[in-house]
Amino acid sequence: MASMMFTDCSSSTTSRLIHFNRRNGTFLLRRRVDQLRLQTTASGRGCNLSIRSSSSLTPAISADTKSEATAKVIDGKAVAKKIRDEITIEVSRMKESIGVVPGLAVILVGDRKDSATYVRNKKKACESVGIKSFEVRLSEDSSEEEVLKSVSGFNDDPCVHGILVQLPLPSHMDEQNILNAVSIEKDVDGFHPLNIGRLAMRGREPLFVPCTPKGCIELLHRYNIEIKGKRAVVIGRSNIVGMPAALLLQREDATVSIIHSRTKNPEEITREADIIISAVGVPNMVRGSWIKPGAVIIDVGINPVEDASAPRGYRLVGDICYEEACKVASAITPVPGGVGPMTIAMLLSNTLTSAKRIHNFQ
């Protein structure tokens, strides 16, 4: 048995669990994340997936894959730590200069254990950098009006600079209606269509950039990886990762292609890429043979696969077959410890940005 999940990419969404269907051997997507139409049987160590694909998987770069690992490891954990340290300094400077402490509010409805864990982690992260956190917990049977009232309260609260509504909401509520109620000036997730539109348009600036894609680009920047003029391939076109990641790469003058579930022979396209960002949620999908020698790989997928030797019976792998990719790529993010820690760092960054903008603090 294998199951896959994404990290809490939206900062406010729950885990995007994608369960392996025992009966027909396919993966089912519970939420909005794209999936390439591959059948995988992920088990044990390595990248031993049986992948049905219309094209040959014969490694085009077999000479390279036989050699030892040479890729630089992009250490997301260390970068995220550094960013949190920078945020701590800025929060402190802001407090000392104008007496304002950035504040992040989270609205949690119902008793989902995973949601509660995410909210707790965000609270801890806020505390660690000096951002004040606010929380409203409502019971599962609350009315939509009660949630809207909480949103409205935080919209009006000058101590709150960012608002997250933890998803999923109970099924009797209109999610879009509630999310639309969040003031665009405090929508630190950056998922509002107005923000996405500004992200897509040249000459316009979004108020917030969605946290996970922002984290991906930040990793490239911090490792001085040039984006301009490069060919970039984004695997997955979800609203929360793939699509905004593609828009961000394009803003930085990459030539971008987006691969998704309807793409034929995706490996032919990835092989052209100088930069690959994968956010599809299929363990070890991208093999060494899919990668151009010297490419840079950003792996957003965090997929638990069965592993009897692991303490919990599973281990986490990315969308990229790390063992193989290491021998071909010039740089790669590990899973875990790559993009994962960046999401929450970017959420803190967006909250700080919001507070600075609202208080016109440079």
Nearer to a copy of itself, 32 or 222 (CB): 32
Nearer to a copy of itself, 25 or 229 (CB): 229
204, 310, 313, 357: which one contacts a copy of itself (CB under 8 A)? 204
72, 253, 310, 357: which one contacts a copy of itself (CB under 8 A)? 253
243 binds a copy of itself (CB under 8 A): yes
How far lies 115's CA from each of 11, 168, 177, in Å? 10, 8, 20
CA–CA separation, 84 and 343 (whole Å)? 11
B/e letters for 242-272, b = 16+ CB within 10 Å, e = fewer, are: bbbbbbbbbbbebebbbbbeebeebbebbbe
Nearer to a copy of itself, 40 or 263 (CB): 263
351 binds a copy of itself (CB under 8 A): no
192 binds a copy of itself (CB under 8 A): yes
- How many other C-beta atoms lie within 10 A of the C-beta of residue 115? 22
Site track 5-44 with a copy of itself (rule: CB under 8 A), x = hit: ---------------------------x------------
Element (H, E) at 219: helix 211-222
Which of 8, 75, 189, 274 is flagged as catalytic? 189
One-letter amino acid of 170: P
47 binds a copy of itself (CB under 8 A): no
CA angle 218–162–252, rounded 5-degree value: 25
Which of 64, 75, 122, 230 is flagged as catalytic? 122
Site stretch for a copy of itself (CB under 8 A), options 128-136, 191-199, 212-220, 353-361: 191-199
294 binds a copy of itself (CB under 8 A): no
81 binds a copy of itself (CB under 8 A): no
Which own/partner pairs from 21-30 qualify as long-range (CB within 8 Å, at least 24 positions apart)?
27/281, 27/282, 29/281
Does the active-site annotation cover 122? yes
Q: Is the peptide bond before 311 cis (omega within 30 degrees of 0)?
A: no
One-letter amino acid of 311: P
* Residue positions annotated with a catalytic role: 122, 166, 189
Q: Interface with a copy of itself by CB under 8 A: which residues? A: 32, 192-204, 228-229, 231, 237-239, 243, 247, 250, 253-260, 262-264, 269
